[in-house]
Amino acid sequence: MEALALFLDPTGAPVSEMRVDHLAFQRAVNIAGFGFLLQAVLGAILLIVGLSLDDTSSVVASLWCLIGLVVWLGLLIVFNQHRLERLEALEQEDLSSDTSAIFEHAGEDGLPAARRLRSVYRWIMPGVSVLYAGGLAVAGWLVMRWMASLESEASAAEFMMSSHLGWMVAIYLTFAVASFIMSRFLAGMAQQDAWRHLRGGAGVMIGNALVLLAGAIGETFRFFDLDGVIEGVVWGVAAFMVAVAIEVVLGLILNVYRPRSAGDFPRAAHDSSTLSLLTRPDSFVRSINEAVNYQFGFDISSSWGYQLLLRSGAWLVALAIVALLAMSTVVVVGGRDEGLRLQWGRIVGEPGSEVRPSGLMMKLPWPIEQSDTWDVTTVRQLAVTPPEAGPVIYNDWANPARLLDRAMPVGFIVRPSESSDGRTDDSGESASNASGQESAYSLVTATISVQWRPKGVHDGSEPSELLSYLDFGGERVQRRSMYTDRERMIRALLLSETTRYLGGLTLDDALANDRAALGEMLRGLVQDRLDTLDAGIEVVSVDLPSVAPPKDSVRSFEDLPVAIQQSDSTVARAERDKTKQLTTLVGRQDLIDPVIQAIDAVDAARNAMLESDDADRDALKRDWQQAVEHAELLLRQGGGAAYQVVSSADLLRWVELMDHRSQVSRVRGQEAAWKVSPDIFQQRAIMEIYARNLPYMRKFVLGIKPEQLDLSYEVRELAAPNMIFSDMLSDEQAKQMEP
């Protein structure tokens, strides 16, 4: 009853003096045992709920509760030892009244319970404080480290949140209220000097209430899709444990140097002054009043203005709340936004008119209805592939840009180049068939970004698709991810369409031919896909600033243009030489093709004539002659080297013909002389031959008598075939007749 009176007394002053005996400490032991049991139940339930429902915040809250069992265990030990010490003192008092000499000189050395009590304060209570501070510090550091690891992509840790939000809020609030009531009860008992150590248990209980209340607030915000609040609560709980551990360590150090009177037991280091202050809010208010009076130099808390402020403060707060609620009924939707009315999370409005355009929007006061506005005109940019980390030179394939976070470039499969598809080997078969699957595909890397925005009422011609946009995906960013759920789906769709579209292009099209149209084609494909899914998203543009071969293959691509250029140069020189030679032969460039066709016609006609029968040979011969005449006519029109050769051949033919005719005429002129006197004609011809040839011949003079000389000679006919009078020709004529 005394403790209950202390709890109900707002001033905190004890109602009556309490007798300090073993019964008082027995009650303290019972209360400490109840606190230990309550602390264990809270910690166990929170741990079981957190593990069974996959809720990280509940597991972290259970760490605070379970570590607090160390404080309650220390209270059980110290109060039980106090009880034993009081029983021992009572027995000593009863024995001291006996006149026997056996107990006449008994002192503290004969009281083991008192010695153990001093040992408890010297060793066990500091040990409990060290263990409590160490447990809080290690638990807080581990929680912080684990929360920090959630940001790492290499970590498999995941922040779990239970889907049973109502149950979690109810559990947190119930346990918080129970802990607060217990802390108030213990704070009231701790006003008695014998029970002052219960302030440590009260501090642990008020810590339970604070941690659980923060958890309830975090879970409540999850009703509004604000999951980041509960994560902040976990960070706060970890920091709170570290702060309490630091305070306990400082208290332990100060207890070493704090002076005490004889027989006074020290205050436990785990008895947090900060938490003890929170267990008695009324004393906190008194402390504020005393601080205000001290600053002004007089008792301002007793003045009429201060009292008026205290009396009217509640009305002023109520008026401010009413004004804020009235202001919450009017919402201004900006010119670039569209708004929604939400009643307990449900969209309010008639079908087709749920989305509110820019202007004033009326709603019920908060928290009955809330409003939400969405920017539907700002163009968002999304990096589909890892973005570049610095300045980029897109025309330098050999030195590609460094990607953000040292990411690897994204590759896409395309069909092989048309030039490689057309290669043939020595056997005449395609090289792609000979190499099997090696040339079936090619690889390119691309940097892709997309610009998009929600399909709102931009020009008033089409209804808003804001609801479809909100249904397509949320704004939540998952752990170890840079994108929201909606952005991840847009990236997945764009990568899918890009892979499918590039898979139908050749390497030449992807790098050169269709390079300029890739972005527009992909924009149309992605927009059609999003419209099919009713995503409510407008794709403004798809940008591909870089489409290049892999870095390891760039050298081959650099050699190819050089080889193509060399090939084109060789072909151009050959074409030039061909044109030059043909123009030289024909004489006019416009007659080259007709002359070639005419020559082909002459060859075809000759072959047809040679391969024909005798019956058709005359007709085919006429065709051949006509083809020859036509070809000669074209050559004559051009006046080139070919015509000059033909003209020279005609000239030589006529010269030879005229020479032969002159020879025939000369022989016919000598025929009459030969018929008159063949011998004279023959001797004369011989003499002419001697006269023509002897001047150029070497002569020998022999000193032998004629009668001693016997000569034998042989006469041969040196005339050319078919020429009877060849010896009668002149030297020039003979030379012309030589073969």
Between CA 168 and CA 213 the distance in angstroms is 11
- Can you name the CATH fold of 385-422+432-549? Tetrahydropterin Synthase; Chain A (3.30.479)
Closest CA to 409 of 425, 385, 429: 385
What's the pLDDT score for residue 723?
Answer: 45
Mean pLDDT of 235-244: 89
- pLDDT, greater one: 693 or 297: 693
Alpha helical stretches, state H, 258-364: 273-279, 281-296, 304-327
pLDDT in tens, 92-145: 776 666 545 444 444 555 577 677 777 777 777 788 888 888 888 999 999 888
Q: State the residue for tokens 């809020």.
A: 169
Instruction: Name the percent of the chain lying above pLDDT 90.
Output: 1
- pLDDT, greater one: 310 or 687: 687
Beta carbons within 8 Å of 269's beta carbon, 6+ residues apart: 125, 126, 129, 133, 248, 249, 251, 252, 255
- Do residues 609 and 617 lie in contact, with contact meaning Cβ atoms separated by under 8 Å? yes
- pLDDT, greater one: 658 or 407: 658
Between CA 366 and CA 364 the distance in angstroms is 7
Instruction: Note the Cα 90 to chain centre separation in Å.
Output: 79
What's the pLDDT score for residue 425?
Answer: 44
- pLDDT, greater one: 432 or 631: 631
Mean pLDDT of 284-289: 62
**Domain residues of the chain, as ranges?**
19-96+109-151+159-279, 305-375, 385-422+432-549, 575-652, 672-737
Checking if the pLDDT of 536 tops 60, the result is yes
What's the pLDDT score for residue 141?
Answer: 92
Q: Which 3-state string (H, E, C) describes 633-657? A: HHHHHHCCHHHHHHHHHHHHHHHHH
The DSSP H or E segment spanning 373 is: strand 369-375
Mean pLDDT of 581-586: 78
According to DSSP, residue 60 is labeled H
Checking if the pLDDT of 368 tops 70, the result is yes
What's the pLDDT score for residue 538?
Answer: 86
Mean pLDDT of 221-239: 83
Q: Which 3-state string (H, E, C) describes 588-630? A: CHHHHHHHHHHHHHHHHHHHHHHCCCHHHHHHHHHHHHHHHHH
Instruction: Note the Cα 492 to chain centre separation in Å.
Output: 11
Give yes or no for a cis peptide into 409 (omega within 30° of 0).
no
106: which 2 tokens?
A: 């008994």
What's the pLDDT score for residue 461?
Answer: 54
Instruction: Report the range of poorest mean pLDDT among 356-365, 445-454, 472-481, 665-674.
Output: 472-481
Checking if the pLDDT of 326 tops 80, the result is yes
Mean pLDDT of 602-621: 80
Between CA 720 and CA 419 the distance in angstroms is 67
Between CA 273 and CA 254 the distance in angstroms is 13
| Single-letter amino acid, residue 481 | S
Closest CA to 28 of 156, 185, 147: 185
Q: State the residue for tokens 């002359």.
A: 595
Instruction: Report the range of poorest mean pLDDT among 298-302, 516-520, 604-608.
Output: 298-302
Of the chain, the end-to-end C-alpha distance in Å amounts to 158
What's the pLDDT score for residue 479?
Answer: 63
What's the pLDDT score for residue 23?
Answer: 78
Checking if the pLDDT of 161 tops 50, the result is yes
560: which 2 tokens?
A: 């190819």
Between CA 400 and CA 545 the distance in angstroms is 12
Average pLDDT of every residue of the chain: 76
Report field, pTM of the whole predicted structure over 0.85:
no
Between CA 208 and CA 231 the distance in angstroms is 18
What's the pLDDT score for residue 472?
Answer: 83
474: which 2 tokens?
A: 């949320």
What's the pLDDT score for residue 429?
Answer: 45
pLDDT in tens, 539-565: 888 888 888 777 777 676 766 677 778
Between CA 422 and CA 426 the distance in angstroms is 13
Closest CA to 12 of 304, 329, 299, 276: 276
Mean pLDDT of 616-628: 80
The DSSP H or E segment spanning 130 is: helix 125-149
- Do residues 39 and 218 lie in contact, with contact meaning Cβ atoms separated by under 8 Å? no
